[in-house]
Structure 1
Amino acid sequence: MTTALRECERLARDEGLAAGLAAAVADTEVAATAPGRFAAVPARSVPDGAPVRRHRVADHEGVVFLETPGSPDGATGAADALLAVGRRLAAVRIGLTRRLLDQAVEHLSGRLAGDEPLIRKQLVVGAVADTVAELELLREQILAPDDPVAVADAHGRLDDLGWEVLKLFGAAGYIADHPARALHVSVLVGNTWVVRDGGPA
């Protein structure tokens, strides 16, 4: 993994989604690169008066959606920059998933130490191990040279892994005040930067 990707992952794991997102889009001309009408950016980076869309849960994570014209069709420079952002953003989402997985393990450790059935403990340990293994594979996948399909596929897998981690928190993972909300927001962020199935979400 390159230094830039490693740093994006580290920031997201240590400091959260907004910090990782800031690194992923650093030195990127957002208006000229974003593929759709809106691009997720850290709220603190948006100039006063810039047109943004807000999302209640994203607000808690320090993320807003900046209105953009969308990148022009066939612009090679924009495509290259978009692929670079997609890779860095995948690294951010890997770090964020690890961050929340660590919190889920801590959340469950007390519960699983008690009288929980053995099968439940085995299922949880298996889910955690599977998630860690999948994250390792995705680290390699996003390094595929000049392959936007591989990067888009990695984001799709990260969507799925996020839902698996959310399940480990039980009902708490679906509450807007819970830290797991960052996984919900990361899907929205990915949808504004990654072209999938013929276009951005």
Structure 2
Amino acid sequence: MTIDTLARWTAPYDTARSAGVEAALADLYDRVATRSLVAGPTGQALAPGPVGRAAEWVWPGGIPLRGLAGVATVPLPGPVRDAGLMAFRGLPGPDGAGWAPYRTWLLGLAWLRLGTSAGLLDQIRAHLAGRRAADGPLLRQQLVRATLAEAVTDQLTVQALLTDVDPVADPVADLVQAHHQLTASDHALLPVLGAAGFTEDGPGREVYLSHLLADVYLPAHCDVRVPA
């Protein structure tokens, strides 16, 4: 991946890490699918409210939204019902030649989700700083240290993959694997925060949104055949 191309994706990463999923998703839409809804393999989409209300096409493919039958907005799940996002169903998903540009979306989304995971790790370190248990600082407990170290390893592994991946030529399975590794890492990290990791206004909210994006946009199978 060239320096210019890499710089294109570090912005959604940085935004997700510092400002959250909603802001990063808006940035990703600006970079990949302006004035469009990005439809996942099952015809679902998530978009920032302003994007969803102003969208004119379905991406990939540039299909006009006006006149499409069966498209509807759906409520967001309870834990993120107050998020500034809109959810859609009934859209034409990527098919045939549409999979080639869709891999670019999966790459950008992986960078966004990597930023979310990095932000979760930042919050955990801040949350545990200065906290003590009976046998000393929490950050020095073997189980906590091992969990954090494994998360750092997972994030570095995904970052290396995303830096080297060619979204035009490399298999979709490589990107899907990166997404699954981030999901597993997030699940392992949240319990370190205790109950604070699972409240609607805590770090778990961003993780929930990240996982919701994966549910909407990852293909169920990795054997997608992309036309040359």
- Whether TM exceeds 0.5 here: the answer is yes
- Determine the C-alpha separation between the residues in 2 that align with 1:149 and 1:4: 22
Change (3 A) 1:163 1:40: same
2:141 is paired with a residue whose SS is: helix
- Determine the C-alpha separation between the residues in 2 that align with 1:186 and 1:170: 20
Q: Counterpart of 1:144?
A: 165
Q: Counterpart of 2:152?
A: 132
- Determine the C-alpha separation between the residues in 2 that align with 1:44 and 1:31: 11
Change (3 A) 1:73 1:137: same
Question: What amino acid maps onto 1:161 in structure 2?
Answer: S
Q: What is the Cα deviation at residue 196 of structure 1?
A: 3.1
The equivalent position to 1:51 in structure 2, one of 72, 90, 93, is: 72
Map 1:1-201 onto structure 2 (within 5 A): 2-26=6-30, 27-28=32-33, 30-31=36-37, 33-47=39-53, 51-53=72-74, 54-74=76-96, 76=97, 78-112=98-132, 114-116=133-135, 121-142=141-162, 143-145=164-166, 146-197=170-221
Gaps in structure 1 of 5+ consecutive residues? none
CA contact (8 A) 1:31 1:70 kept: no
Larger deviation: 182-191 or 30-39? Answer: 30-39
Number of paired residues? 196
Larger deviation: 168-177 or 3-12? Answer: 168-177
Question: What amino acid maps onto 1:51 in structure 2?
Answer: A
What is the aligned-residue identity percentage?
Answer: 23
- Determine the C-alpha separation between the residues in 2 that align with 1:65 and 1:96: 20
Runs ≥4 in structure 1, deviation > 4 angstroms? 29-33, 117-120
TM-score normalised by the chain length of structure 2 = 0.76
1:35 is paired with a residue whose SS is: coil
CA contact (8 A) 2:196 2:203 kept: no
Q: What is the Cα deviation at residue 184 of structure 1?
A: 1.5
Structure with a larger share of its residues in helix: 1
Q: What is the Cα deviation at residue 32 of structure 1?
A: 6.5
CA contact (8 A) 1:17 1:61 kept: no
CA contact (8 A) 1:57 1:185 kept: no
Q: What is the Cα deviation at residue 182 of structure 1?
A: 1.1
- Determine the C-alpha separation between the residues in 1 that align with 2:94 and 2:207: 30
Structure with a larger share of its residues in strand: 2
CA contact (8 A) 2:26 2:47 kept: yes
1:169 is paired with a residue whose SS is: helix
Gaps in structure 2 of 5+ consecutive residues? 56-70, 224-228
Q: What's the CA shift string for 1:76-116, capped at 9, x where partnerless?
A: 1x21221111111111111111111111111112323x534
Question: What amino acid maps onto 2:86 in structure 1?
Answer: V
Question: What amino acid maps onto 2:126 in structure 1?
Answer: E
Alpha-carbon RMSD across the aligned residues, in angstroms, is 2.6
- Determine the C-alpha separation between the residues in 2 that align with 1:115 and 1:41: 46
Q: Which has the larger radius of gyration?
A: 2
TM-score normalised by the chain length of structure 1 = 0.85
Q: What is the Cα deviation at residue 36 of structure 1?
A: 1.8
